C-alpha cells in the first residue's frame, strides 16, 4: 500500500513537472524575448506601451465592448435560465439548444454570415429605415455588430457557468419562501436568487471578458480595431511590444480570475457553515 | 451531491410538506411540484423571450445568409447575380479548398486526440494534489488560456519557438529541422490552449468519480490499472468523448493562432474563409466564403452529433 502511494506521488509529480515546463517555458521565454535587447536588458516594450499609437484607444474600445457584452449577455440569459427552472421546464431543451448551437458555428463562419447579412443593407434595404440600423451597428466608434457576435460566442460558456451555479441553489424553494414572505417577483429574484448566484455570475462575466479581450477573428475580418487586432498590427513593426502586451494581458486576466476564485472561496466558507 | 438519484416521496409526505422538496432533488426533478406551476404558470416563458428573439435575429439571420448565399450566384458576378447555383458549394470542396478542409480536419483531430490524452492525467494530478493553491492556480490559468483566444498565445509561441524565438536561438533548433510554421509547430501551439480546455472540461467529471467506487474496486482486489480500465474509464468515456469533440471544435474553428504565425505553410479552411472575405478571391466568387463556411459548419455538426446523445448517458452517473 505504501509502495502504491509513493508510486502515485512520483507519477503525479512527473506529470505536474512536465505540464509545468510546457506551460511555463513559453511564458518565461516571451518575457525574456520582450526585454531582450542587443545591448542587454531593456524595458522599452513596456514603458513605451502607454504612448504607443492606438494602444489606449483600442484598449478602451475593447473594455467598453466587454462591458456591454457582459451586461447584454447576463440580461438575456439569467432571466431565461431562472424562468426555465421556475415555471417553464418545457423550454429547457430549447434553451439548451440555443446555448449549444453557437459551438458548431466557428467564429469565422459566423463572421461570414454576418457579412452576408450586412450586405443585404445596401443591396435590398437602401430606402427603408432598416438601412439606418445597419449603418448604426457598424459605426467604428462603437461597433454593436461585434457585441452581437460576442454575445453569441459567449453563450455556451456563460450558460455552463450559470448552470453549474444554479444547480447548487434550490431556486424554487428560495423563491417560494421569498414569495410567502410577501416579496414581489422582481424582488424575490433580485434580492434572493442573484446573491446566491454571485460566484457563477462573476465567473461567467470574467470568462466573457477574457473572450472579448482576446477575440481577433470577427473584429479583424470586419475591419474594426479592438485590442487583439491592435496587438496583431503592432506585431508587424514592433515584435517585442506585441509579445509584451500578449503576456501582460494573459497575466492580468489570470490574476483577476485568481482573486475572484479566492473571493468566492471565502464566501462559500461563510455560507456553508450554516448548512 | 450526496442525494439519492431517484427520490420517491410518499404521497402523504408530499401533501404535508406542501410542495418544496429537499435541496438538490427539486432542481433536477422532471415533474415540478404543483405549487411551482401555480406560482408562474403562463408567464415564465415571457422571460425567455428576449434571449430567443436575440438568438433568432443575431444567429438566425447569419445562418440564413450562409445557406442562401452558398447557393446563389454572387452579387458582383456579371451574369445571373442572385440566381440559384451549386457552383460555390462544388468549388468549395475542390482543389486548394478541399486540401485546406482536409488539413484542418487532420490538425484538429490530431490536436484534440493529444489534448485529450494529455489533459486527463494533468487534471487528475492537479485534482489529487495536496496543494489547494496549485489547484486553483491551474484551473483559473486554464480558464484564461482556453478562452483568451489564440492571438496572444501565438505571439508567445513566435517569441519562444519562432525563427527568432528564444529557444530556437538558444538550441539552434532550425538546424535540426524545427519550424513553428509547419504542421508539427502548429500542433505544439494549438495544444497550448487545447490542453487547458480539456483540463477544464474533464475536471467536473473526475470530481464526480466517487471514492466509494475506487474502494469497492480495491476491496475486490482490483489493481489501480484495473480500476481505471474497468470502472473509471467506462464512466468517464462520454465525458472524454465530449471533451474530444469540444477540443476538435475549438481547434477546427481557430483562426487567430494560424493568422498570427505569418508565413505558416499549413493550409487551413478558416484562413481560406478569412482570405475570401477580405476580398482576396476572384471577382464573382464572393459567395464562396459562405459556401466554405457551410462546409465548416457541416463538419462541426457531424462531430457534435456524435457527442450529444452520449452526454445524457454520462449525466446519469456523474450528477
Question: What is the complex's ipTM, to 2 decimals?
Answer: 0.84
User: For all residues of chain A together, what is the average pLDDT?
Assistant: 84
Tell me: pLDDT of A111 over 70: yes
What is the average pLDDT across B40-45? 66
What dotted CATH number matches A44-265?
Answer: 1.10.3720.10
DSSP state letter for B32:
-
**pLDDT (0 to 100) of residue A187:** 85
Tell me: pLDDT of B145 over 70: yes
Residues facing A40 on adjacent strands: A37
Kindly tell me the burial class for residue B190, based on how many C-beta atoms sit within 10 Å of its own C-beta (0-12, 13-18, 19 or more). buried
**pLDDT (0 to 100) of residue B9:** 38
pLDDT-derived band at B175, boundaries 50, 70, 90: confident
Highest mean pLDDT among A35-49, B1-15, B64-78, B171-185: B171-185
Tell me: pLDDT of B282 over 70: no
Q: Does A263 touch chain B (CB under 8 A)?
A: no
Tell me: pLDDT of B154 over 60: yes
CA nearest to A229 within chain B: B151
What is the average pLDDT across A173-190? 86
What is the average pLDDT across A180-194? 85
Q: Does A231 touch chain B (CB under 8 A)?
A: yes
What is the distance in angstroms between the Cα of A250 and the nearest Cα belonging to chain B? 7
**pLDDT (0 to 100) of residue B10:** 36
Tell me: pLDDT of B130 over 60: yes
Q: What are the structural domain ranges in chain A?
A: 44-265
**pLDDT (0 to 100) of residue B246:** 87
Angle between helical axes of A144-167 and A55-86 (0-180°, round to 10): 40
CA nearest to B319 within chain A: A167
User: For all residues of chain B together, what is the average pLDDT?
Assistant: 78
Put simply, the answer to whether B32 touches A166 (Cβ < 8 Å) is no
Q: Give residues 160 to 189 of A whose Cβ lies within 8 Å of B.
A: 164, 166-167, 169-173, 175-176, 179
What is the average pLDDT across A57-68? 92
DSSP state letter for A182:
T
Rounded CA separation B197/A34 (Å): 27
Count chain A–chain B contacts defined by CB atoms under 8 A: 303
Rounded CA separation A206/A257 (Å): 7
Q: Give residues 76 to 115 of B whose Cβ lies within 8 Å of A.
A: none
pLDDT-derived band at A129, boundaries 50, 70, 90: confident
Residues constituting chain A? 275
Put simply, the answer to whether B165 touches A111 (Cβ < 8 Å) is no
What is the average pLDDT across B54-73? 90
Q: Does A101 touch chain B (CB under 8 A)?
A: yes
**pLDDT (0 to 100) of residue A151:** 96
Tell me: pLDDT of B138 over 70: yes
Angle between helical axes of A92-104 and A55-86 (0-180°, round to 10): 150
- The label of the residue with cell 511564458 reads A27
Residues facing A36 on adjacent strands: A41
Residue A67 corresponds to which cell in the numbers above? 462591458
Query: C-alpha distances in angstroms, A89 versus B6, B40, B142?
Result: 19, 11, 33
Taking CB atoms and an 8 Å cutoff, what residues of chain B touch A11? 125
Tell me: pLDDT of A9 over 90: no
Query: C-alpha distances in angstroms, B282 versus A73, A222, A245, B273, B293?
Result: 38, 19, 37, 13, 17
Tell me: pLDDT of A74 over 90: yes
Residue A229: closest CA among B86, B256, B208: B256
Tell me: pLDDT of A190 over 90: no
Q: Going from the N-terminus, what domains does chain B have, and what CATH number goes with each?
A: 102-268+295-317 (1.10.3720.10)
Tell me: pLDDT of B283 over 80: no
- Window from B19-33, B144-158, B201-215 with minimum mean pLDDT: B19-33
What is the average pLDDT across A68-80? 94
**pLDDT (0 to 100) of residue A154:** 93
- Window from A188-197, A201-210, B81-90 with minimum mean pLDDT: B81-90
Amino acid at each position: 500500500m505504501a509502495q502504491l502511494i509513493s508510486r502515485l506521488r512520483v507519477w503525479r509529480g512527473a506529470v505536474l513537472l512536465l505540464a509545468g515546463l510546457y506551460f511555463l517555458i513559453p511564458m518565461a521565454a516571451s518575457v525574456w524575448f520582450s526585454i531582450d535587447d542587443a545591448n542587454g536588458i531593456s524595458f522599452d516594450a513596456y514603458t513605451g506601451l502607454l504612448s504607443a499609437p492606438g494602444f489606449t484607444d483600442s484598449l478602451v474600445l475593447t473594455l467598453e465592448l466587454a462591458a456591454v457584452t457582459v451586461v447584454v449577455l447576463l440580461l438575456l440569459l439569467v432571466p431565461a435560465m431562472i424562468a426555465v427552472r421556475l415555471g417553464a421546464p418545457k423550454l429547457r431543451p430549447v434553451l439548451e439548444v440555443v446555448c449549444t448551437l453557437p459551438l458548431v458555428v466557428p467564429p469565422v463562419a459566423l463572421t461570414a454570415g454576418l457579412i452576408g447579412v450586412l450586405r443585404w443593407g445596401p443591396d435590398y434595404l437602401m430606402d427603408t429605415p432598416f438601412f439606418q440600423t445597419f449603418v448604426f451597428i457598424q459605426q467604428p466608434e462603437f461597433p454593436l455588430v461585434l457585441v452581437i457576435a460576442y454575445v453569441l460566442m459567449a453563450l455556451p460558456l456563460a450558460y455552463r457557468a450559470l448552470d453549474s451555479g444554479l444547480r447548487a441553489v434550490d431556486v424554487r424553494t428560495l423563491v417560494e419562501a421569498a414569495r410567502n414572505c410577501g416579496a414581489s417577483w422582481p424582488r424575490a429574484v433580485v434580492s434572493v436568487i442573484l446573491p446566491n448566484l454571485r460566484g457563477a455570475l462573476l465567473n461567467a462575466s470574467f470568462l466573457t471578458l477574457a473572450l472579448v479581450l482576446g477575440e481577433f477573428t470577427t473584429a479583424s475580418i470586419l475591419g474594426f480595431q479592438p485590442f487583439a487586432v491592435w496587438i496583431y498590427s503592432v506585431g508587424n513593426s514592433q515584435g517585442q511590444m506585441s509579445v509584451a502586451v500578449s503576456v501582460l494581458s494573459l497575466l492580468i486576466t489570470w490574476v483577476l480570475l485568481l482573486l475572484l476564485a479566492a473571493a468566492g472561496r471565502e464566501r462559500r466558507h461563510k455560507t456553508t457553515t450554516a448548512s | 451531491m450526496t442525494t439519492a438519484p431517484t427520490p420517491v416521496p410518499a404521497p402523504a409526505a408530499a401533501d404535508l410538506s406542501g410542495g418544496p422538496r429537499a435541496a438538490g432533488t427539486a432542481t433536477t426533478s422532471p415533474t415540478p411540484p404543483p405549487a411551482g406551476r401555480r406560482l408562474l404558470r403562463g408567464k415564465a416563458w415571457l422571460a425567455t423571450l428576449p434571449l430567443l428573439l436575440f438568438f433568432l435575429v443575431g444567429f438566425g439571420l447569419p445562418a440564413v445568409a450562409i445557406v442562401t448565399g452558398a447557393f446563389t450566384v454572387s452579387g458582383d458576378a456579371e451574369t445571373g447575380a442572385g440566381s440559384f447555383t451549386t457552383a460555390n458549394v462544388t468549388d468549395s470542396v475542390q482543389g486548394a479548398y478541399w486540401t485546406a478542409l482536409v488539413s484542418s480536419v487532420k490538425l484538429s483531430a490530431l490536436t484534440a486526440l493529444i489534448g485529450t490524452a494529455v489533459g486527463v492525467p494533468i487534471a487528475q494530478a492537479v485534482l489529487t494534489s495536496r496543494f489547494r493553491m496549485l489547484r486553483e492556480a491551474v484551473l483559473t490559468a486554464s480558464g484564461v488560456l482556453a478562452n483568451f483566444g489564440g492571438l496572444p498565445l501565438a505571439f508567445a509561441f513566435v517569441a519562444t519557438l519562432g525563427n527568432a524565438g528564444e529557444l530556437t536561438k538558444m538550441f539552434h533548433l532550425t538546424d535540426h529541422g524545427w519550424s513553428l510554421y509547419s504542421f508539427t509547430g502548429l500542433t505544439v501551439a494549438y495544444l497550448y490552449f487545447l490542453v487547458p480546455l480539456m483540463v477544464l472540461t474533464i475536471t467536473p467529471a473526475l470530481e464526480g468519480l466517487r471514492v466509494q467506487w475506487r474502494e469497492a474496486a480495491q476491496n475486490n482486489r482490483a489493481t489501480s490499472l484495473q480500476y481505471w480500465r474497468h470502472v473509471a474509464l467506462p464512466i468517464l468515456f462520454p465525458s472524454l468523448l465530449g471533451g474530444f469533440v469540444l477540443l476538435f471544435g475549438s481547434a477546427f474553428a481557430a483562426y487567430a493562432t494560424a493568422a498570427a504565425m505569418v508565413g505558416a505553410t499549413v493550409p487551413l479552411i478558416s484562413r481560406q474563409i478569412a482570405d475570401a472575405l477580405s476580398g482576396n478571391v476572384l471577382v464573382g466568387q464572393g459567395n464562396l466564403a459562405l459556401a466554405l463556411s457551410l462546409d465548416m459548419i457541416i463538419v462541426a455538426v457531424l462531430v457534435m452529433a456524435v457527442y450529444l446523445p452520449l452526454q445524457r448517458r454520462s449525466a446519469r452517473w456523474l450528477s
